[in-house]
Chains A and B, each alone.
Chain A
């Protein structure tokens, strides 16, 4: 057996509703490394892929938001375990996509896994910092609790294809939202591989849906979609962000505007709180 093996090239696919479809449009685009060498073909998601992803996310919302916070935390931690097992693959994809040295890419992947674990811990604690027992002038308990906003469209950062992605995605689903993520256009491969991790981590299908392609093409349809409750514009440039925010106003979506981000810094709870609603109930005191 001296002859060399035939190469087994990977077909990167979308991740929608727990399955791995090709783009409905049949389109792909070439993904290159930082030097311009071809790495793989990634699906170029279309308007209809986005539509299907929102349907899947909506379908998954009831189960995911209704799961106990403890259970969500367990599942998120499980995702971190699976990421750890695929460390080599992510290091390679990040190094190639972002033009980092192997050791720098390894540090980025480790930071991403740690961040995932960090957010996993927040699932059953966010209610304690964002909720409250409010003092009221009457014989009532007045309790504010947090509720997930719903289906959140996430335009993932363009530059940080893995740590940035984890930093925007994990807080969205930690609180019980479901997500439709548009990946970095230039280096979508870590995000598409993340889909494979999510599919094997007890995460119900549809909670996270990953679309690779152009934010400028898919974004307007997600921003205008009446069944999307919030949109994170991190991956949009200033001009696109303004247009999308205008479109999002139609059904009063929550909008998280793009800002300068340092993905290596301590994230804080901002992103967890961005896609939460507050429910306040008055309950008679039984005395």
Chain B
């Protein structure tokens, strides 16, 4: 494997050139299939064992305080309900800007994640705060719509001001082996993320690991998405029974590491769904540090898709700063 040169972010123009060097594996359906099926199989026992071992690290006192603040700053504070109202989105934005009104040293979250029709509301509410607006798109969460509909959905969210787009892949196409279709779709959505001024919204690609059935599939779809130009890869929608788990997130972190080593392109990771406690969040941070290194320990390259996690982090933060256990009465109910 040739040396990839200095690491470049997935959204930089250089990344496109680097990916062009891998063009041979994405030249045809057959080549792509050969490449994805040529990836080494996943040692499931080893993977789960490694994830469990990394979960046993004891992170206390100052390290814990650092981890809590880091985790808060990495949250994509999410509301994806049919019952979302502009008022609820505004309230969530206010919480994102100032998570703990009793302690102004609390960092703000990384982004607010909403449905496309709420992007405008969120954008206005977050004006000047530096917090990004992330929008799910492409017929989230099922992804069962025609490509033009998905692209219109994406373009609409970008036009409304979304800084980040969370797309879902077509799991049906992937599971029936139509890899090229999935690849082309991601490329088309990435193109739809472009703004008229030449910049582009960052693209997160959601796999829905719970529907992919095997670890091998997760490794394949990780590579497929990164080859197609994903800026972030994301575990799940949060709408199915199995969401982010430590093993499948570790697997994706390893894919990102291997992709960096092969191409020199840096891609972010976002576990989403089912991460509710500070303890869980810290386990993920340990995994990131041990697998990818400190370079990924920033909101630019690692995010948590979560809603209730923030309250637990705030309660733990209050415990550390006051010495008293806090309770749900001291944080907002979303």
Residues of chain A touching chain B, judged by Cβ–Cβ distance below 8 Å, are 51, 54, 58, 221, 224-228, 250
Measured between C-beta atoms, what is the minimum distance from B185 to chain A in Å? 43
Query: Are B324's CB and A225's CB within 8 A?
Result: yes
Query: Are B324's CB and A58's CB within 8 A?
Result: no
Query: Are A225's CB and B328's CB within 8 A?
Result: no
Residues of chain A with a CB closer than 8 A to B330's CB: 226
Query: Are B323's CB and A227's CB within 8 A?
Result: no
Measured between C-beta atoms, what is the minimum distance from A283 to chain B in Å? 27
Residues of chain A with a CB closer than 8 A to B318's CB: 226
C-alpha spacing A228/B330, complex, angstroms:
12
Q: Say which size band chain B's interface belongs to.
A: under 10
C-alpha spacing A228/B326, complex, angstroms:
9
C-alpha spacing A206/B285, complex, angstroms:
32
Q: Which residue of A lies closest to B324 (CB)?
A: A224
Could you tell me the dominant secondary structure of chain A's interface residues?
helix
Measured between C-beta atoms, what is the minimum distance from B160 to chain A in Å? 39
Q: Which of chain B's residues 260-307 have a Cβ closer than 8 Å to chain A? A: none
Which of A54, A227, A228 is packed against the most chain B CB atoms within 10 Å?
A227
C-alpha spacing A224/B327, complex, angstroms:
11
A224-B324, A225-B327, A226-B327 given; name 19 further pairs at CB < 8 Å.
A51-B325, A54-B325, A54-B327, A58-B327, A58-B328, A224-B323, A224-B325, A225-B324, A225-B325, A226-B318, A226-B324, A226-B325, A226-B326, A227-B326, A227-B327, A227-B328, A227-B329, A228-B327, A250-B324
Q: Which residue of B lies closest to A151 (CB)?
A: B327
Q: Which residue of B lies closest to A250 (CB)?
A: B324
Query: Are B329's CB and A226's CB within 8 A?
Result: yes
C-alpha spacing A5/B79, complex, angstroms:
62
Q: Which residue of B lies closest to A223 (CB)?
A: B324
Question: How many A-B contacts at CB < 8 Å in the complex?
Answer: 26
Residues of chain B with a CB closer than 8 A to A250's CB: 324
For the complex of A and B, list the 10 residue pairs with the smallest distance between their C-beta atoms, beginning with the closest: A227-B327, A224-B324, A225-B325, A226-B327, A226-B326, A226-B324, A51-B325, A226-B330, A226-B325, A225-B324
Residues of chain A with a CB closer than 8 A to B326's CB: 226-227
Contact with A along B315-334 (1 / 0, CB 8 A): 00010000111111110000
C-alpha spacing A225/B322, complex, angstroms:
11
Measured between C-beta atoms, what is the minimum distance from A156 to chain B in Å? 21
Residues of chain A with a CB closer than 8 A to B325's CB: 51, 54, 221, 224-227
Measured between C-beta atoms, what is the minimum distance from A6 to chain B in Å? 36
A-B contact pairs, 21 of them (CB 8 A): A51-B325, A54-B325, A54-B327, A58-B327, A58-B328, A224-B324, A225-B325, A225-B327, A226-B318, A226-B324, A226-B325, A226-B326, A226-B329, A226-B330, A227-B325, A227-B326, A227-B327, A227-B328, A227-B329, A228-B327, A250-B324
Measured between C-beta atoms, what is the minimum distance from A225 to chain B in Å? 4
Measured between C-beta atoms, what is the minimum distance from A137 to chain B in Å? 35
C-alpha spacing A226/B318, complex, angstroms:
10
Residues of chain B with a CB closer than 8 A to A226's CB: 318, 324-327, 329-330
C-alpha spacing A51/B323, complex, angstroms:
13
C-alpha spacing A160/B71, complex, angstroms:
48
Measured between C-beta atoms, what is the minimum distance from B223 to chain A in Å? 41
Residues of chain B with a CB closer than 8 A to A51's CB: 325
Which of B323, B327, B328 is packed against the most chain A CB atoms within 10 Å?
B327
C-alpha spacing A226/B327, complex, angstroms:
6
Measured between C-beta atoms, what is the minimum distance from A121 to chain B in Å? 33
Residues of chain A with a CB closer than 8 A to B329's CB: 226-227
Measured between C-beta atoms, what is the minimum distance from B3 to chain A in Å? 49
Residues of chain A with a CB closer than 8 A to B327's CB: 54, 58, 225-228
Residues of chain B with a CB closer than 8 A to A227's CB: 325-329
Residues of chain B with a CB closer than 8 A to A224's CB: 323-325
Residues of chain B with a CB closer than 8 A to A225's CB: 324-325, 327
C-alpha spacing A227/B330, complex, angstroms:
9
C-alpha spacing A224/B324, complex, angstroms:
6
Measured between C-beta atoms, what is the minimum distance from B174 to chain A in Å? 39
Residues of chain A with a CB closer than 8 A to B328's CB: 58, 227
C-alpha spacing A133/B330, complex, angstroms:
34
C-alpha spacing A250/B325, complex, angstroms:
12
C-alpha spacing A51/B277, complex, angstroms:
14
C-alpha spacing A93/B233, complex, angstroms:
60
Q: Which residue of B lies closest to A227 (CB)?
A: B327
Measured between C-beta atoms, what is the minimum distance from A254 to chain B in Å? 15
Residues of chain A with a CB closer than 8 A to B323's CB: 224
Measured between C-beta atoms, what is the minimum distance from B94 to chain A in Å? 23
Residues of chain B with a CB closer than 8 A to A221's CB: 325
